[in-house]
Structure 1
């Protein structure tokens, strides 16, 4: 039973880390959208904004 609790705790740590990394990827996706609505409203036509790393 002690070993199973140990394994369960390590799995929970791994899953927490995995979910944290996945949440960071979602933030990056939001930052690097094509932003057609922004460029269309500002310039009158759609163009892809450059990514700045």
Structure 2
């Protein structure tokens, strides 16, 4: 079929590379644990929160 061969292989590799780049970018932009505590997204004990935010 027309979907097989070197052209299809390179297209698949390019698609995978784009997906990997996109995922890595999104992971790099996600908030860290301290930011999640500051925004009250992660519930923590108040003494732990005070220590973490100092």
TM-score band by shorter chain is 0.5 to 0.7
Find the counterpart in structure 1 of residue 48 from structure 2: none
Q: Aligned partners of 2:13 and 2:26: how far apart in 1?
A: 20
Give the TM-score, by structure 1 length.
0.55
Counterpart for residue 38 of structure 1: 34
Unmatched 5+ residue regions in structure 2? Answer: 41-54
Off by >4 Å, runs of 4+ in structure 1: none
Q: How many residues align?
A: 37
Match of 2:15 among 15, 18, 25: 18
Unaligned runs of 5+ in 1: 48-53
Aligned-pair CA distance for 1:14:
0.5
TM-score by length of 2: 0.54
Aligned equivalents of 1:8 and 1:26: distance in 2?
27
